[in-house]
Structure 1
Amino acid sequence: MTPFITRRTGLAALTLALLAASGVQAQDYPTKPIRLLAPFPAGSGPDANAREIAGELTKILGQTVIVENKPGASGIIGTDAAAKAAPDGYTLVVGTTSTMSVLRHLYTKLPFNTERDFAPVSLLGVLNTGLIATPSAPFKTAAELVTYAKANPDTVTAATLGAGSYFHLAGEWFASNAGVKLRFVPYSTTSPYTDLMAGQVQVMFDALPAAVGGIRGGKLKLLALTGKTRHPAFPDVPTFAEAGIADYAPLAWQGILAPAGTPKAIVEKLSAAMQKAAQNPQLAEKWRQYGGELKATTPAEFAAFIKTDSAQWGQVVRKAGVKLD
C-alpha cells in the first residue's frame, strides 16, 4: 500500500469518526439549559416573540431555553456576545433584519462578520411593513401620498428612530422607488406613535405590532402593506404594488442562529425543533394578526434568505448614502 493511499484511508477514517461523534453529540443534545441571547430590551415586541418561541422550544427539546437580554449599540453588543460564544449549541442568538442584514452596510467595521461568525438555524417569523399615517394627513392612500409629495417636496414628515433605523431605511427605500423626497424626523428616546396619532408627524414605515391597536381603533390609518398579495388580516389594505410602488419589499424578521462551528447535526436538530414550534396555532394566529407569518426554515433556506435580504438592504443604504461610522 502506497503512503498516499494510507493517508487517504486515514483521513477517511478520521472523517467518519468525527461524523459519528457529531451524531452521538446531537443524539444526546441538549443535556442542560440553552441560552437564547436577545439583542434588544426586555419587554419589547421582539423580546416577547423570543420568549414565546423559547417556551415552545423548551417543550420540544426537554431543556429550558432561557432568554437573556443583551441590548445596546443597535444590537451589536448581544450579537457580538453570541459570535464569541462556545459553538456547542448551548448559546443561540435571535437575529433580526437590523443585526444580520443591515448593520454590515452601515458600519465599515463590526466586531463580528455575519456570514463568517454564525450558523443560521431557522427563520422564526416575518412581519410585513406598513405605511402608517395619521388620520389627519392630506392623503388617504399611498398613491395620493406620492402625488402630494411630488407636488410638495420635502414636506411630508416621516417619523424614525434615528438614521439607519429600520423606520428610516424602510422610508428611504419607499422614497427612492416612488421618486419622492420625505422629511425624516428622528426620535431617539421616545416612541413616535404618540406624535403620529396626534398629527405632529404624518407617516411612519414600520411592522405592525406596535401600531395594530391604533389602526383597529381608528387612531392610525394603514395606507399600504408589503407582500405580493393582500394580507388576510388586512384584506382592505392594498399592497404597495397596487399603489404603483414597484419592488418595495422590506420585511422585519427574526430568526435563530448559532455561533459558527456549532456541529451540523445540532444545528439541524434545532432547526427541526423550530419547525415543530412554528406549528403552534395560537402563535401562528398572533403573527397573522400583526400582518406577518410565523415561519420556520431549514438552515440552508435561512442562509439563502439572509443573503438575499442583505443584498436588498445594501442597495437601499448605498442609495441613501447612510454611514454610521
Structure 2
Amino acid sequence: MHRSIARCALAAVFVCASAAAQKPSYPDRPVRVVVPYGPGTAPDMIARVVSEQLSRQTGQSFVVENKLGAGGKIGTEAVADAKADGYTLLLGGKDTHGILTHLYPDWRIKPEKDFAPVALLARIQNVLLASPKLPASNPQEFLALARQKELRYGTPGVGTNLHLAAAYLQNNYGLKLLHIPYSRSFAEALPALARGELDLVVAGLPPAMPLLKDGRIKAIAVTGTQRSRFAPDIPTFAESGVSGLESGGWFALFAPKGAPQAAVDALSKMVATALREPAVAERLSGVYADPAPSSPAELGKLVADETQRWGKVVADTGIKIE
C-alpha cells in the first residue's frame, strides 16, 4: 500500500516537472509594445493586429502603448532606456531605424546599435496623392507641372520618410515644391487635400484608400518596386523612369540592446507563427498591409541598408531639424 502511494506521488512529481518543462519561459508576464506614433496610424494598426495574435498564442497580454512625438524619437528613446529583459518592445520602421540618426547627429541613441532586431511584421506602400483640382494625374504630368509652378504638399512632419521622399524628388528632378508639415495631426492633411487646400500629400496607402475609393482625392504614383495589390491601377514611379524611390514603408519589432537572446529568438518564432495565421493576414489586408516575416538577422541587414540609404538622402537634400 505504502509502495503504491509512493509510486503515485513520484509519478505526480514527474508529470508536474514535465508540464513545467513544456511551459514557455518567455513570456511569463505582460509585454509592452511601444508605438512611437499616434493611434489610428498604419504602424499603430499593424502593432495591434500582431499584438492581439501574440496574446492569443502565449496567454500573456501584449499591450500597445502610443508614445508619439518628434517623428518617433520620443518613443524610440523610451524603449532604448527601458530594462533589457524582453518585456518592452518598440514598433519601429525606416523613420526610427534609418532616418532619425541622420537628422540628429548628436543623438545619444544609435538605433542600429542600441536595439536588438526581433522580426519584421509588415510592409505598406507609400503614395503621392493629389487634389482632384490638380491638372496632373500621372508621374509625367506631375513632373512637368511641378517644374513650371510651385505646388504645396503635406507630410506628417519635417524629416519623416514621406517628407524625404518628396525632398528627394524636388532635389533630383528640379521641382518647385513647398512643404507644409502636419506634425500635430497628419489626419487633417488628407481632408485638406480633398478640399483643395493642398496640391499634394505624401502618405502611406492605408489612410488614403478610403478617400481614393470615394474619388475625393487621386493618386499620382506609389513608391514601391511594384504596384500595390490593393490599388493595382496606381503606377509606380519606377515605371515612369523615376529612380531612387523604390521603397515603401515597413514596420518591425525591436528590443533594447542586451535583451536575452532566448527571449529574442522565442519572440521571433512567435511572430513568424502569428503572421502565418490566415486571420492575421486578413486583418492586415484590411489595413492595406502585407505580412513580411523575417529572421532577426534579415531585419538587422534591412536596418543597416536603410541607415546607409537614408543618410545619403538627408545629406543630399540638406534637411535639418531646427
The bucket for the TM-score relative to the shorter chain is 0.7 to 0.9
The separation in 2 between residues aligned to 1:228 and 1:188, in whole angstroms, is 28
Does 2:293 correspond to 1:274? no
Equivalent in 159, 168, 173 of residue 164 of structure 1: 159
Equivalent in 226, 232, 236 of residue 235 of structure 1: 232
Give TM-score scaled by structure 1 length: 0.86
- Compared CA separation, residues 219 and 239, structure 1 to 2 (3 A): same
Partner-residue secondary structure (3-state), 1:115: helix
Equivalent in 69, 82, 89 of residue 72 of structure 1: 69
The residue type equivalent to 1:162 in the other structure is G
Structure 1 unaligned segments of length 5 or more: list them: 1-23
Does 2:130 correspond to 1:128? no
The separation in 2 between residues aligned to 1:139 and 1:289, in whole angstroms, is 29
Give TM-score scaled by structure 2 length: 0.86
Query: Residues 139 and 240 of structure 2 are in contact (CA less than 8 Å); yes or no, is this contact kept in structure 1?
Result: yes
* Equivalent residue, structure 2, for 1:216: 213
Output aligned runs, 1:300-319, within 5 Å.
Answer: 300-319=297-316
- Compared CA separation, residues 270 and 131, structure 1 to 2 (3 A): same
Equivalent in 87, 91, 94 of residue 91 of structure 2: 94
Partner-residue secondary structure (3-state), 2:113: coil
Greater displacement, 286-295 / 185-194 = 286-295
Does 2:146 correspond to 1:174? no
Deviation of 1:290 after TM superposition, in Å, equals 5.0
The separation in 2 between residues aligned to 1:211 and 1:135, in whole angstroms, is 14
Aligned residues: 300
The residue type equivalent to 2:170 in the other structure is A
Greater displacement, 54-63 / 71-80 = 71-80
- Compared CA separation, residues 49 and 118, structure 1 to 2 (3 A): same
- Compared CA separation, residues 183 and 311, structure 1 to 2 (3 A): same
The residue type equivalent to 1:113 in the other structure is K
* Equivalent residue, structure 2, for 1:55: 52
The separation in 1 between residues aligned to 2:182 and 2:36, in whole angstroms, is 20
- Compared CA separation, residues 315 and 288, structure 1 to 2 (3 A): farther
* Equivalent residue, structure 1, for 2:145: 148
C-alpha RMSD of the superposition: 2.1
Query: Residues 233 and 289 of structure 1 are in contact (CA less than 8 Å); yes or no, is this contact kept in structure 2?
Result: no
Q: 4+ residue runs of structure 1 moved beyond 3 angstroms?
A: 42-45, 176-179, 285-292
The separation in 2 between residues aligned to 1:214 and 1:286, in whole angstroms, is 20
Query: Residues 57 and 277 of structure 1 are in contact (CA less than 8 Å); yes or no, is this contact kept in structure 2?
Result: yes
Query: Residues 42 and 204 of structure 2 are in contact (CA less than 8 Å); yes or no, is this contact kept in structure 1?
Result: no
1:177-231 deviation per Cα after TM superposition (whole angstroms, max 9, x unaligned): 4342322222343421121001111111111111110001101111211222222
Does 2:253 correspond to 1:253? no
Query: Residues 127 and 287 of structure 1 are in contact (CA less than 8 Å); yes or no, is this contact kept in structure 2?
Result: no
The residue type equivalent to 2:256 in the other structure is P
1:84-111 deviation per Cα after TM superposition (whole angstroms, max 9, x unaligned): 2222211111112211111001012223
The separation in 2 between residues aligned to 1:280 and 1:318, in whole angstroms, is 41
Query: Residues 39 and 72 of structure 1 are in contact (CA less than 8 Å); yes or no, is this contact kept in structure 2?
Result: yes
- Compared CA separation, residues 82 and 189, structure 1 to 2 (3 A): closer
1:21-80 deviation per Cα after TM superposition (whole angstroms, max 9, x unaligned): xxx9x9511211111122223344422221211111112223111112222232222211
Greater displacement, 290-299 / 310-319 = 290-299
- Compared CA separation, residues 243 and 291, structure 1 to 2 (3 A): farther
* Equivalent residue, structure 2, for 1:3: none
* Equivalent residue, structure 2, for 1:324: 321
Identity %: 35
Deviation of 1:302 after TM superposition, in Å, equals 0.4
* Equivalent residue, structure 2, for 1:33: 30
- Compared CA separation, residues 201 and 42, structure 1 to 2 (3 A): closer
1:129-153 deviation per Cα after TM superposition (whole angstroms, max 9, x unaligned): 1111111101111111111222x14
Deviation of 1:291 after TM superposition, in Å, equals 4.8
The separation in 2 between residues aligned to 1:183 and 1:242, in whole angstroms, is 25
* Equivalent residue, structure 2, for 1:109: 106
